Chains A and B, each alone.
Chain A
Amino acid sequence: MRPDIDRYWKLESSIHNWDPRFKIFTLVIFAFAISSLHHLSAIVICFFFCLLLHKLSKIPFSFSLKRLAAVTTFIGPFFLIMPLTVITKAGDTIYYFRNIPYLELNVRGIFLALRIYIKAVSIVLVMIPMFGTNRFDISIKSLEKLKVPNSMVQMLLFSYRYIFVFLAEFKQMLLAMKIRKFKPSANIHTLKTYGNFLGTLLVRSFERTEEVYQAMLSRGYKGILKIPFHYRARFSDYLKSVLIFSITFFILFYDRILL
């Protein structure tokens, strides 16, 4: 998986046209609403809506699939752990095994894990259009407009830039280690090698960033970064936000009051 979430920022869609300030603000609140849902039916409805949102953004599904696979490997263990460990409550269906004592499978646990899984997948499906439809620096700049301090925004941008630089360095160093027949396994040698590897990466990166910083200073950097991009809120931006907010409201209403 490559870190370029904004690979498809050049496409044209109604999500791409949405002002990034509105987009991030609205969709973050929407994500919180998803995570607060209680009932499986509301969560499933939300999931289909997120799928629609993703479809509208025209980002290829194959791009998101890798990210969804990462979430799956992350939450997968929940499906195993939850049925075995949840507290038994009245009305639970529990499976016992005749041959293995102490092993009880609680069906409620599977449903709990399923709820978490669908919520997490839905939020990933929201996050990809949220940050994938603008250039990353512009998304981050809109965070500044949403009152995130300038120093944090700058560090985010620097880190984002460095990730690509260091990743290239990292891959090169790994290749060099492979050429010297390094094969990671669970022993002290591997760990010490990785320790030295990290040290080398730190030293190299440190020297590089120092040089970049000197170059920035000599070009008049005074601690404030300006990105030349002008925001202009249009009627459609407000309309889209209002639409998402009303959907958020209806889903919460359905989840809390109707069910």
Chain B
Amino acid sequence: MHISDGVLSTTVCLGSYILSIGICSLCIKKSMKTKELPKIAMITSIFFIASLISIPLGPTSVHLILPGLVGTALGGMAFPSVLLGIILQAILFQHGGLTTIGANSLMMGLGALGAGSIFSLVKKSNNSKLIINTGAICGAMGVLIAGITLALLLTTAGEDFYGVAKVALLAHVPVIVIETIITGAAIAFLLKVKPDLIGVKIKPDETGVKVIQ
């Protein structure tokens, strides 16, 4: 879910721009490594492409947003990645809007950062089940935080938007369920195939996969 142009007041638009640029530069200062630049760009494009996957749900369909997966894969650099993804979505597809890039990256980016900080707690664990379950929770948390931030941003637009905020929050419920399962499955897959992509150091024999020699 993105906020489109014209919904938020100019003050909120500018404020969220400043806030997200601030968070972004903090993240870059704290955890940016030149070596990781291609990886961040890659996750950004996956984040972009994921929005093209839509899952039929009754009469409509929902598309993936994946803040949780971005957070688990990138940790502290998730916010800049999400910001870039939002910029690209706005410029290339006109998803969201130009004046709301700040607001949109704030909601997804905070979700991604939240998911990343939860996932960093279990990165050193050797228990693959725990990691997969935490990954699934991260998927849910990412969307939950994004949904709450979206609702809060919408309420700043005035009393008239309280109803829209409620509907938007409700619309996130099925997305939370979907992303929980998808993120969990993706983390389980990565754990088996390429654990260092999500920063997990786990021995191959503990993932339950037999190495063919």
Which residues of chain A have a CB within 8 Å of any CB of chain B? 1, 3-5, 28, 31-32, 34-36, 67, 70-71, 74-75, 77-78, 81-82, 84-87, 108-109, 112, 115-120, 123-124, 126-128, 131, 149, 151-152, 154-156, 158-160, 162-163, 166-167, 170, 184-186, 188, 190-192, 194-196, 198-203, 205-206, 209-210, 212-213, 223
From A70, A166, A186, B46 is in contact (CB under 8 Å) with A166
B178 touches A155 (CB 8 A): no
Roughly how many angstroms separate A104 CA and B49 CA in the complex, as a whole number? 40
On chain B, which size bracket covers the interface?
35 or more
Set B39, B48, B94: member contacting A209, Cβ < 8 A: B39
- A-B contact sample (4 more), CB < 8 A, given A32-B99, A71-B4, A166-B46: A74-B4, A117-B6, A159-B44, A196-B189
Q: Mark B16-51, 1 if CB is under 8 A from A, else 0.
A: 000000001100100010100111111111101110
Q: Are B164 and A82 in contact (CB under 8 A)?
A: yes
Asked if B163 and A81 make an inter-chain contact with CB atoms under 8 angstroms apart, the answer reads yes
Residues of A close to B188: CB separation below 8 A: 195, 199
Q: List 14 A-B contacts (CB under 8 A).
A: A4-B92, A5-B91, A36-B10, A84-B163, A120-B4, A155-B84, A156-B87, A162-B42, A162-B45, A163-B92, A191-B178, A196-B186, A199-B188, A202-B186
- Whether B203 sits at the interface, judged by CB under 8 Å, is no
CB distance from A124 to the nearest CB of B (A): 5
Contacting pair B189 A199 (CB below 8 A): yes
Q: Chain A residues near B189 (CB, 8 Å)?
A: 195-196, 198-200
* B173: Cβ under 8 A from any A Cβ: no
The segment from B111-119, B122-130, B143-151, B190-198 that touches chain A is: B190-198
Measured in the bound complex, the distance between the Cα atoms of B56 and A185 in whole Å is 6
* Nearest 6 CB-CB pairings of A with B: A85-B163, A195-B185, A119-B6, A199-B189, A158-B41, A36-B10
Contact assessment for B4 and A194 in the assembled complex, using a CB-CB cutoff below 8 Å? no
Which residues of B are at the interface with A, using a C-beta cutoff of 8 A?
2, 4-10, 13-14, 24-25, 28, 32, 34, 37-46, 48-50, 52-53, 55-58, 64, 66, 69, 73, 80-81, 84-85, 87-88, 90-95, 97-99, 159-160, 162-164, 166-167, 178, 181-186, 188-190, 193-194, 197
Interface residues of B, dominant DSSP: helix
Partner pick for A163 among B28, B48, B185, CB 8 A cutoff: B48
Q: Contact: B185 with A191, CB < 8 Å?
A: yes
- Cα–Cα, bound, A78→B28 (Å): 37
The chain A residue with its CB closest to the CB of B99 is A35
- Minimum CB–CB distance from B129 to chain A (whole Å) comes to 16
Q: Bound state CA distance, A170 and B80, in angstroms?
A: 24
Known: A87-B162, A195-B183. A205 touches B46 (CB 8 A): yes
Chain B residues contacting A152 (CB-CB under 8 Å) are: 24, 28, 80, 84
Q: Tell me if B58 and A186 are in contact (CB < 8 A).
A: yes
Inter-chain CA distance A155–B95, complex, in Å, is 20
Contact B181 A71 (CB under 8 A): no
Q: Is the CB of A170 within 8 A of B49?
A: yes
CB within 8 A of B5: which of A4, A123, A162? A123
Chain A residues with CB under 8 Å of B40's CB are 155
Kindly state the separation between the CA atoms of A1 and B184 in the bound complex, as whole angstroms. 29
Which A residues are CB-close (under 8 A) to B93? 1, 3, 67, 70
Interchain CA distance A205-B50 in the complex, whole Å: 13
**A82: B residues at CB distance < 8 A:** 160, 163-164
Residues of B within 8 A of A190 (CB): 55
> Known: A123-B97, A131-B91, A170-B49. Is A155-B44 also a contact (CB below 8 A)?
yes
Nearest-CB residue, chain B, relative to A162: B45
Output the nearest chain B residue to A64 by Cβ-Cβ distance. B94
A209 touching B41, Cβ below 8 Å: yes
**Cβ contact within 8 Å between A154 and B194:** no
Find A127's partner among B45, B56, B94, B178 (CB 8 Å cutoff). Answer: B94
Report B-chain residues with C-beta under 8 Å of the C-beta of A119: 5-6
Q: Are A203 and B197 in contact (CB under 8 A)?
A: yes
- A35-B6, A81-B163 given; A192·B49 CB < 8 A: no
